Structure 1
Amino acid sequence: MEKLIQELQAKKETHLFGGGEEKQNRLHDQGLYTARERIDKLIDPGSFLEVGLLAHSDQEGSESKSATDGIITGLAKINGRKVVLQASDKTVFAGTEGMVYFRKSKAIHDYACKRGFPLLNLMEGGGLRMPDGMGSDGISQLLFPDELLLHNRRIPMITGIFGDSFGGPTWTAVSSDFVTQVKGTSMAVAGPRMLEVATGEKISNNELGGWEIHANHTGQVDCFAENEDMNIHHLKQFLSYMPDNGNEEPPFKETKDNPYRKISELIDIVPTRRQRAYDMKKVIRLIVDDGELFEIKELYGTALITVLARINGRVVGILANQPLKFAGAAGPKECEKATEFICLCDSYNIPMIFLHDTPGFRVSSDAEKLKMPTKIMVWNQALAQSTVPKISIIIRKSIGAAFGNMCGPTMGADFVVAWPTAEMNFTGPEVGINVVYGRKLQLSENPQEERQELLKSWSFDSSPYKAAGKFLIDDVIDPRDTRKFLAQTVEYACAKNGAKSKRNLANWPTGY
């Protein structure tokens, strides 16, 4: 028995070194962590239960040089919470994917879904390992199994991109609920070498799938990190706002921040003049518990802010227009961002708060080419199908169709209220007067005087008091009581079933 145990320990020790000490040292020389070091930094000390340590490639002749077949899988705890994780190992065949790699990855995903644990993916690698996928038998085994394609947001899928990622790691990322990427890495369908061979196009990793591409153009990555430690921090932060699975609510967090705290500073931040801009993020930080928030897609669709935060200990998702960017008017990117965030919140039982300050949608010939009408309506459809509690506050302007997309009175909100500064209308006063009274003003003897009279009338008609008087909105509130109002309404809206939704949006795609 002693001899058998020694043999076992020797085999395991060999596999723990992955592709060998030399390759690990090469990573360290570049200032990078190995896959196992990333796991150690992510999880609670001593909590890792590895599954598949002794696995290796099933290709003849590769058994001795393919420890774990390039993917480390197992269970662990993060801040005491049970999770399932996988980490691709670049020291084994450059992190490429073989048959056993896929078998392990599928098994760990299935177990996470079976027991209701979040799945964290620490990814990098060059995609499919050519010998494994060649031939009709190879490709027939490598097609995505339906269990992965029918994931249906049963558990949070959380992915970190730690190195250049092509093929499989990219598919994992874009299928996830949250993706964070280390700057300096690339994420794309195929690498530059494959691209040049297939199409003749010569391009660098950064130009193909660097962080700026995803921040400014694709929106496929939610967060970016200067280094690996920050990437791991982002993974932990996002997880802290997520439930273990779609049948549970996110964890409460005790706070000493008074839920009924008056916020006098709001009066100084938000100008009464609708033409003046301000930073909506300052408003949000003052409202939420302890000023703490986690922003998603900060650099994509910047006229809309999407953050996770807490109100009186309960996780909430906040969608807010950002007047500093395009006056808060949403374009195609903002529409995609809103739809994705609504699906996230509704699937994981997170109440939503909407803070309005928008002059409408950005309309242009370029926006039409990007299917702006479709994107507006997809946002609307997602909102209409969401069933988590929703609370809507019109802070300043909320104009046209955007009033509905920001959860106006007809979109299933539990409560819709306004600040006294609110302006609600089909269009802004200047535009409306020019369209409706343009001809009359042209013929007027005193056009400026008449315009001012019309503006006064239009402003009165747009005030929140008319809607409140007809009980089309629930109330007009003192801005200083915004936190108190949210704390009270979230508590009442979640009294019966918590924040649990019907999960109508759980099977929506992860990209739009």
Structure 2
Amino acid sequence: MQEYIRDLEKRKEAALQLGGEAKIKQHQQAGFYTARERIDKLVDKDSFMEFGKLNHAENPEIAHKSPADGTIAGLAKINQRPVVVQAIDKTVLAGTGAAVNGRKSHLITNFAVKRGLPIFNLDEGGGLRMPDGMGSDGISSKMMSMNLLKHGRQVPIITAILGDSYGSPTWKAVTSDFAVQLKGTCLAVSGPRMLEVATGEKVSPEELGGWKLHAKTTGQTDQHGEDEAQCFDLMKTFFQYMPSQADEEPPYKETTDDPYRILQEVMEIVPTKRNRAYDMKKLIHVIVDKDSFFEMKPLYGEALITGFARLNGRVVGIIANQPMKYAGAAGPQECLKATDFICLCDSYHIPLIFLHDIPGFRVGSTAEKAAMPTKIMVWNQALAWSTVPKISVVIRKSIGAAYSNMCGPNMGADFVVAWPTAEINFTGPEVGINVVYGRELMEVENPEEERKKLLDLWEFDSSPYKAAGKHLIDDVIDPRDTRKFLCRSLDYACSQKGTKSQRLLANWPTGF
């Protein structure tokens, strides 16, 4: 028995050597952690339980140099919560995907879903291993697993791109609930070398799939990190707002922040003049529990803010317009951002808070070329099908069709209220007057005086009091009571059924 044990220990010790001392040194000198170091830094100390350590490549010619077949996988705890962790090992055959590591990933992913464990991916790598994937038999046996495509947000999937990633790591990132990309890395379908050979296009990794491209242009990542440690922190922070699996509500967190705190600060933050900009993020931070706001896609569709926070310890999703960008008017990116976030929150039982300050949509030929009508209506469809509690507050303005997209009346909100500063209308008074009275104003003796009279009339018509008087909205509230109102109304909305949704959006695509 001692000989058997010594042989086992020798084999497991060899597996811990990854791709060998030279490749480990090269990887570390490039500024990266190894796959095993990444797991140690992410999970609770001494909690990792590995499976597949004795794996090796199916091809016998390279079995001796493929410990764990280039993927480290197992169970662990993060902040005492059980999870599944997978890390691609770049020092083994460039972190390429193949039959054995694909089988391991498939089985442990199935286990995660079966037992309700969130999945953390620490990824980089060069796509499908060649020549293993070549030929009709190779590619047929290595096609994408249906368990990823039909996952239906049964457990949160949280992915970090920590090195240049092509193929499988890319597929995992863009189908995750949260994806963070390390600055200086590339996330793309194929690498620059493959592109040059296949199409003749010469492009740098940064131009092809760098963090700025995805953070600002594609929206395929949710956050970005300066270093690996920050990426791990962002993954853990996102995880704090998530349930472990689809049958649970998000974790409640005790707070000492008074739910009925009066918000004197809002008097200084939000100007009453609608043409003056202010930073909606400052207002959000004042309303929610102290230091609880975590933004998603901060550089993508910047006229709309999405993120998680807590109100009296309960997790909520925030959708708010940002007057600092395009006066808060939403364009194609903002529509996609809102739709994606609504689907995420509804799938994981996270109530939605809408804070309106939107003059409408950014329209014109550029928007029409980007299929703006479709994007507006897909946002509305997601909102209409969502079943989590929803509370809507009109801060300063909510104009035209955007009033519906921000969960105005008849869009499923539990409560719709407004500040006394709110302007609610089909269009802004100036635009409306120019369209309706433009010719008449040209013919009167004193057009500016007449315009002022019309503006005064249309301003009154836009105030929230007419809608409140006919119970088309639920109330007009003192701005200083906004936190108190939200905490109280959430308590009532969640008193019997909690925050549970019907998860009707769980099978919507994770990208649009």
Q: TM class by shorter-chain length?
A: over 0.9
Q: CA deviation at 1:388?
A: 0.2
The correspondence of residues 38-117 of structure 1 with structure 2, limited to 5 A, is 38-117=38-117
**CA distance in 2 between partners of 1:71 and 1:408 (Å):** 48
Structure 1 stretches lacking a partner, 5+ long: none
Q: CA deviation at 1:146?
A: 1.7
The correspondence of residues 317-396 of structure 1 with structure 2, limited to 5 A, is 317-396=317-396
Aligned to 1:15: 15
The correspondence of residues 266-277 of structure 1 with structure 2, limited to 5 A, is 266-277=266-277
User: Which digits, 9 at most, give the CA deviation of each residue in 1:472-493, with x for residues without a partner?
Assistant: 0000000001100010011111
Q: CA deviation at 1:27?
A: 1.6
Q: CA deviation at 1:364?
A: 1.2
Q: CA deviation at 1:145?
A: 2.1
Q: Which amino acid aligns with 2:388?
A: V
**CA distance in 2 between partners of 1:310 and 1:450 (Å):** 48
**CA distance in 2 between partners of 1:382 and 1:71 (Å):** 37
Aligned to 2:158: 158
User: Which digits, 9 at most, give the CA deviation of each residue in 1:288-326, with x for residues without a partner?
Assistant: 111321100000000000010000000000000000000
Aligned to 1:313: 313
**CA distance in 1 between partners of 2:107 and 2:68 (Å):** 14
**CA distance in 2 between partners of 1:510 and 1:157 (Å):** 11
**SS at 1:289's partner residue?**
coil
**CA distance in 2 between partners of 1:141 and 1:418 (Å):** 58
**CA distance in 2 between partners of 1:444 and 1:51 (Å):** 83
Q: CA deviation at 1:159?
A: 0.4
Q: TM-score, normalised by structure 1?
A: 0.99
Aligned to 1:500: 500
**SS at 2:25's partner residue?**
helix
**SS at 2:353's partner residue?**
strand
**CA distance in 1 between partners of 2:302 and 2:201 (Å):** 31
Aligned to 2:187: 187
Q: Which amino acid aligns with 2:278?
A: Y
Q: CA deviation at 1:20?
A: 1.0
**SS at 1:113's partner residue?**
helix
**CA distance in 2 between partners of 1:367 and 1:497 (Å):** 40
**CA distance in 1 between partners of 2:145 and 2:162 (Å):** 25
**CA distance in 1 between partners of 2:292 and 2:351 (Å):** 17
Q: CA deviation at 1:142?
A: 1.2
**CA distance in 1 between partners of 2:480 and 2:17 (Å):** 58
**CA distance in 2 between partners of 1:492 and 1:131 (Å):** 60
**CA distance in 1 between partners of 2:291 and 2:444 (Å):** 53
Q: Which amino acid aligns with 1:226?
A: E
Pairing 1:304–2:290 present:
no
User: Which digits, 9 at most, give the CA deviation of each residue in 1:419-438, with x for residues without a partner?
Assistant: 00000000000000000111
Q: CA deviation at 1:135?
A: 1.3
**CA distance in 2 between partners of 1:38 and 1:314 (Å):** 31
**CA distance in 1 between partners of 2:68 and 2:291 (Å):** 43
**CA distance in 2 between partners of 1:261 and 1:391 (Å):** 18
**CA distance in 1 between partners of 2:348 and 2:276 (Å):** 36
Q: Which amino acid aligns with 2:201?
A: E
**CA distance in 2 between partners of 1:291 and 1:163 (Å):** 30
- When the two chains are superposed, the root-mean-square deviation of aligned CA atoms in Å is 0.6
**CA distance in 1 between partners of 2:391 and 2:132 (Å):** 52
Aligned to 2:473: 473
Q: CA deviation at 1:16?
A: 1.1
User: Which digits, 9 at most, give the CA deviation of each residue in 1:10-41, with x for residues without a partner?
Assistant: 10011111111221111221221001111001
Q: Which amino acid aligns with 1:225?
A: G
Q: Which amino acid aligns with 1:277?
A: A
User: Which digits, 9 at most, give the CA deviation of each residue in 1:365-392, with x for residues without a partner?
Assistant: 0110000000000000000000000000
Q: Which amino acid aligns with 1:437?
A: Y
Q: Which amino acid aligns with 2:114?
A: K
Pairing 1:440–2:440 present:
yes
Q: Give the percent of matched residue pairs that are identical in Structure 1 and Structure 2.
A: 65
Aligned to 1:281: 281
Aligned to 2:130: 130
**CA distance in 2 between partners of 1:285 and 1:291 (Å):** 7
Q: Which amino acid aligns with 2:224?
A: F
Aligned to 2:402: 402
Deviates more, 1:351-360 or 1:135-144: 135-144
**SS at 2:54's partner residue?**
coil
**CA distance in 2 between partners of 1:89 and 1:52 (Å):** 13
**SS at 1:324's partner residue?**
coil
Aligned residues: 512
Q: CA deviation at 1:60?
A: 2.2
**CA distance in 2 between partners of 1:293 and 1:36 (Å):** 31
Deviates more, 1:331-340 or 1:12-21: 12-21
**SS at 1:133's partner residue?**
coil
Pairing 1:178–2:183 present:
no
User: Which digits, 9 at most, give the CA deviation of each residue in 1:149-196, with x for residues without a partner?
Assistant: 100111101100000000110000001011000000000000000000
Aligned to 2:511: 511
**CA distance in 2 between partners of 1:83 and 1:444 (Å):** 73
**SS at 1:248's partner residue?**
coil
Q: CA deviation at 1:68?
A: 0.7
**SS at 2:59's partner residue?**
coil
**SS at 1:107's partner residue?**
helix
**CA distance in 2 between partners of 1:297 and 1:249 (Å):** 23
User: Which digits, 9 at most, give the CA deviation of each residue in 1:197-244, with x for residues without a partner?
Assistant: 000000000000001111221100010100000011111000111000
Q: Which amino acid aligns with 1:29?
A: Q
**CA distance in 1 between partners of 2:496 and 2:16 (Å):** 50
Q: Which amino acid aligns with 2:439?
A: R
Aligned to 1:147: 147
Structure 2 stretches lacking a partner, 5+ long: none
Q: Which amino acid aligns with 1:149?
A: L
**CA distance in 2 between partners of 1:144 and 1:109 (Å):** 13
Find runs of 4+ consecutive structure 1 residues off by over 6 angstroms: none
Q: TM-score, normalised by structure 2?
A: 0.99
Q: Which amino acid aligns with 1:430?
A: E
**CA distance in 1 between partners of 2:209 and 2:105 (Å):** 24
Aligned to 2:411: 411
User: Which digits, 9 at most, give the CA deviation of each residue in 1:277-298, with x for residues without a partner?
Assistant: 0000000000111132110000
